[in-house]
Amino acid sequence: MGARRTAALACALAAVAALGLSGCGTGGDDPVAATPPKHLSGTIQLWHHYSDREASVIQDAVHGFEKLHPDVHVDVHSGQQDTKITQVVASGGDVDVLLTNLNATLGTACKTMSDLAPYMKRDGVSTSQFQDIFARATAFDGRRCSLPTTSDVYGLYYNKTLLARAGMTQPPRTLDQLESMALKLTTYKKDGSIKTLGFDPLVGFQQNTSGTLSAAAGVTWTKNGDSAIATSEPWHRLLAWQRDFVHKIGYDKLKTFSAGLGDEWSADNAFQTGRIAMALDGEWRVAFIQDQAPHLKYGTAPFPVLDGGGRRYGGGFVSAADVGVNKRSNHKEAAWALVKYLTTDTGAAVRIANGIKNIPTLKAAAESPGLQAPAPYRTFIRASADPASSTSPITEIGATLTATLDNYWTSFQQGSGKGLADGLRKVDTDINNALSLRRAK
């Protein structure tokens, strides 16, 4: 759940303000001892974005680490926004280990983080221990800045009862099938307003973003370090498909219906109450349904893909929480030991995944019999390992990359559908300007 919070637009825009601080140079990496210390002691500071119940899960994991190293104490600073963590690190604050969302912060924070590669080589830690997509995503600009902990994986939730009433037995595999089924599943009141919606296509509705939807097509985000959205045909086709879908139901009707729905994180969630038949959501929804709507008959599946878009069915959009060591830390060996424990200890990884209800990135944890994995949840485990899964690229401007496209898309979906090419070129220009400013610092 922590990873998805920082993907929200508000946090993405907040990241813009942090860019000026988070890229300050901090010098080279300190040499790493040839052998690990036989004994660790001292106090280290862990900062992370989890709060409430999820923070207690991280705290329990920390207690497990402290039992292994009784002379090390970990001061935990929970509930810290990712942008604040990167600002504190960049300004020389007392942070030894930082746990954040990689898509939102890694590109902006990497220069302030220690290169973990020498520690990994020395201690026999290999990127092959993790699902490939997360191993790749947690490095940036030639530096192994971090390692992945848990991940968010997105897919399709569908109400079996509503689909069965409409004579449907299988979830859609393509976006055209999704649209066709959704239109048939949508019902209206006498005044023409929506009563039950097959699928809400609005970008900005709950988990519908340029990032999560991008996995449905073989889109290109960047090329040679610059934004390449306007020259990527799948982007044009994806936005055009979504805009036409919105138009067939009616933008105003969808906005009115969406505004009247219950809170996404409460028992009044529209999918859980049957007001929406299908939804794009993350693996955490399985736990919400178990708790808030245990009698709901539903299924999960990979999210449908764009016909001819170059993306094979079976994957989905993924994001992860990553953890690394502050380059300025005075306790790097203890900090690295904590990072290694949180990411590579199978028992710890399983406990964290079970507690936070995210997908473990450690292969051994994903395969562990101790992982609480009901059938709907296993859809997301399989998707996380599927080569068809994708994530938005890690860049120096963090979440500003996707927020820029989100801003345009939410405007585009309201209009006639004209001017898409010019609009996407403007998106490229805005992203490249932000990248240029960032790289000049």
The amino acid that residue 238 corresponds to is: L
**How many other C-beta atoms lie within 10 A of the C-beta of residue 387?**
10
pLDDT tens track for 346-403: 999 999 999 999 999 999 999 999 999 999 999 999 999 999 999 999 999 988 999 9
DSSP state of 367: T
Residue with tokens 């509705």: 205
CA 151 vs. chain centroid, Å, equals 7
Percentage of the chain with pLDDT > 70?
94
Helix or strand (DSSP H, E) at 424: helix 420-439
pLDDT tens track for 265-314: 999 999 999 999 999 999 999 999 999 999 999 999 999 999 987 889 99
pLDDT at 310: 80
The pLDDT of 96-125, averaged and rounded, is 93
Residue with tokens 């019999």: 369
Quickly state the pLDDT bin for 26 (edges 50, 70, 90).
low
The per-residue DSSP string of 128-186 comes to: GGB-HHHHHHT-BTTB---EEEEEEEEEEEEEHHHHHHTT--S--SBHHHHHHHHHHH-
The per-residue DSSP string of 252-280 comes to: HHHHHHHHTSPPTTSTT-TTTTTSEEEEE
The three-class DSSP label of residue 72 is strand
**How many other C-beta atoms lie within 10 A of the C-beta of residue 359?**
29
Phi, psi (deg, nearest 5) at residue 99: -120, 110
* Summary mean pLDDT of the chain: 92
Distance, in Å, from the CA atom of 363 to the CA atom of 365, rounded to the nearest integer, reads 5
The three-class DSSP label of residue 199 is strand
Residue with tokens 């140079």: 25
pLDDT at 232: 96
pLDDT tens track for 79-107: 999 989 999 999 999 999 999 998 888 98
pLDDT at 440: 83
User: 359 - beta bridge partners?
Assistant: 151
